Amino acid sequence: MKQKKKKKKSHVPFRVNVLFFIVFVLFSVLILRLGFVQIVYGDDYRREIERTEDITVNNPVPRGKMLDRTGKVIVDNTPQNAITYTNRGAKQDEMLDVAENLAKLIEKDTSKVQERDKKDYWIIKNPKLAEKKVSDEEKEKLKEKLEGKELDKEIYQLQLDRITEEELNDLTAFDLEVLAIYRDFSSGYALTPQMVKNKGVTDEEFAVVSENLQLLPGVDTTTDWERYYAFGDTLKSVLGNVSDDGLPAEQLDYYLARDYSRNDRVGKSQIELQYEDVLHGQKAKVKNVTDKAGNVLETIPISEGKRGKDLVLSIDMDLQIAVDKIVEEELKAAKTKSGTALLDRSYVVLMDPRTGEILSMSGKRIVKKENGEKVIMDDALGNIQTTYNVGSTVKGATIMTGFNTKAISPGVTFYDTPVKIKGTPPKKSWKAGLGTMSDITALKYSSNVYMFQTAIRIGGGTYQYDRPLRLNNEGFNIIRDSFAQYGLGVKTGIDLPNEQSGFKGTGTKPGFMLDLVIGQYDTYSNMQLAQYVSTIANGGNRMEPHIVKEIREPLMDNGEIGPIIEEIEPKVLNRIEGKEEWLDRVQEGFRRVTQEPGGTAYSSFGAKGKEYNSAGKTGTAQAFYDGPERSKFGKIPPEVINLSYVGYAPYDNPEVAIAVLVPWAYQGSHGHYANRNIAERVLDTYFELKKQRQSGTDTTNNSKQDMNETNQE
């Protein structure tokens, strides 16, 4: 029987069905999951995909201007071409590519590139060579101690340390330009424009960069500003400076905490620094809308910028220029006299004694350049930042101190004869034979002996010729506290930084107290002298000096002065102790100094019939030289004479007070009279300028009228 072969049953269909079933189940699960995600979390994910970030960026604006009291612009802003870079999320290699392309189009200063910058750049350009600087064995040892960022930091530091000088020297001039540009690119925050070049950008550079912006992502051409000083170096040391390329490193945290950007320029010194909050203006704000990747989707303006507010100074620039010229001429003239090898400076302050406004603040200093050439430079700040023995100009305060302590009374007399303390040289007046002195004539003739006798009584002593003298040390404090009421030995409060208060002698010998009351022990600044004589001139109010008169809204487009925001009101710091009739006697003594024969300044004022009828006090102090040539003289410095003068005019209704100080004027017993010559010429100039303006011959009168009309409006 023929057997039929049995057909084998295939299992393929079964397996395929199982596979299809599994696929079906998986797809079902996936569909269910997708449906769940879409229904439950769909809106959340959609919002995440569409999520954007708003980043607000502040763009700097020009600083406020400075004007003088007559409306003349002193400090302004001038536009200049500039090239900036804004990092919109570019990576390091992308920034380097842009820096290389830009370096081909412009010249970039490389003077600020530091050695560390060069090393960082060398590693970027030579990653394989940098990798070999640290062996695998060293890395393994480091891994045993460190991990993560700390490990990378240590390896990188080893690479930096092992870069040789020869390898750095391989960087070409072009490399350094690229580095300097890249350094600017990476110095600020993302989406904030960084200044790449804003000085010396030629028209050709500006044009070629503008034409190639599509090849320079992040780079832009714009207009920047630079401070312009309309009167050159006149008063420049007082006006101050602005940083060139961003925030000063030493004040970085301070400004960043106050919403400044790293590339903002700020005031570095004096008025620019003191009034930074007023001058820096209100920045323009824009909002950059970015996606998750950091790409800018839209830029939306938030607020327009507003230039900084303007400052109207109390300074009269016509007067300032004239005073500067006088000081320079008299300094040169004095240098032709014998014994003036150490003379190198002179100072003048003109102040309104009624308000404290500084009308002129002049200082000139002879400086030797590296090539040996001597030039005269502005040193107006020396009026507040340097102090000296000033001599007899302080005697008005000495008389008032004597009255207040009852050491003397009005009209009390002393016979002017040398005072001799046992074991010390005689102390006498500048001239023998002055005779019997009262408080008024002691000021007129500048009697030292009268002041010595006053000091002895303040100190509770009894004087006998060539016998020991014992004084209560509390007398030093009494005298200094009294002098401080006039501004001597304390800061005046002027609205400028870094004012010095002076040096107080530490010795307590009786002779030092006698020196103190004639201005030959403690040191004072010329601004202190101006405040002191203003206090006497106005009847006893110590006025706070100020150099800013008004704060105004920015100048209008048509050049008109903006409305006043704040007017600096006169501020009385204190009123001196004492009766009005006592101060009247001091004022009379000062009047006789200039108006009566025999007065120490009569030959400069009263004898010449000056119409403005001034009052004043001269000063001659024996001092020790402590200037720039001090190191040449060994342990004991040479003796010098300091000259000073304080005064005011007109005597019966003071409108201007003056202080003159000529340190280290000469060596020897006789010399020049630069202090009186300067005071005479400056006061002549002040009243002549006033007369010209009143008669309408000076065009600045119109500017002043315009300012007054604006004030009234």
The pair phi, psi for residue 76, each rounded to 5°, is -135, 180
Rg (CA), the chain: 38
What single-letter amino acid sits at 80? Q
Query: What's the number of CA atoms in the CB half-sphere (13 Å) around residue 275?
Result: 30
Closest to 494 in 3D by CA, of 361, 373, 610 = 361
Report how far residue 495's alpha carbon sits from residue 52's, in angstroms, rounded to the nearest whole number: 48
Active site residue 703: no
DSSP 167: H
DSSP three-state, residue 606: helix
Closest CA to 648 of 633, 638, 658, 634: 658
- Report how far apart, in Å, the C-alpha atoms of 346 and of each of 353, 363, 380 are: 22, 6, 9
For residue 508, which amino acid is it?
T
Q: Per the structure block, which two tokens stand in for 527? A: 């601004």
Within 10 angstroms of residue 512's Cβ, the number of other Cβ atoms is 17
Half-sphere exposure of 432 (CA within 13 A, CB side): 2
The pairing of strands 564-567 and 541-543 is unpaired
Contact in structure between 71 and 316 (CB atoms under 8 Å)? no
Q: What is the Cα–Cα distance from 216 to 211, expressed in whole angstroms? A: 10
Q: How far is CA 160 from CA 113, 164, 668, in A?
A: 16, 9, 62
Q: Which amino acid is it at 181?
A: I
Catalytic residue among 261, 392, 614, 644: 392
Positive/negative CA dihedral, 427, 433, 434, 436:
positive
Q: Record the tokens describing residue 70, joined without a space.
A: 């007559």
Q: Virtual CA dihedral for 314, 320, 323, 329, nearest 10 degrees?
A: 150
What does residue 569 show for φ and ψ, rounded to 5 degrees? -80, 150
- How far does CA 558 lie from the centroid of its chain? 31
Question: Would you give the distance in Å from CA 384 to the centre of its chain?
Answer: 12
Sign of torsion, CA 452 454 456 459? negative
The answer to whether 712 and 567 have CB atoms below 8 angstroms apart is no
Q: How many CA atoms lie within 13 A of 8 on its CB side?
A: 3
Cβ pair 212, 98 in contact under 8 A: no
Residue 592 to residue 298: CA distance in whole angstroms:
78
Strands (E), 553-667: 564-567, 572-575, 615-624, 639-649, 656-666
- Residue 206 to residue 189: CA distance in whole angstroms: 24
* Residue with tokens 């050049």, as numbered in its chain: 559
Rounded CA separation 537/484 (Å): 16
Closest to 346 (Cα-Cα) out of 337, 358, 335: 335
- For residues 330 and 363, the answer to whether their CB atoms sit within 8 Å is no
Which residue, 473, 479, 504, is CA-closest to 394? 479
Instruction: Return the exposure string of 131-162: e unless at least 16 CB atoms fall within 10 Å of the residue's CB, then b.
Output: eebbeeeeeeebeeeeeeeeeeebbeebbbee
Residue 140: CA atoms inside 13 Å, Cβ hemisphere, count?
3
Active site residue ranges? 392
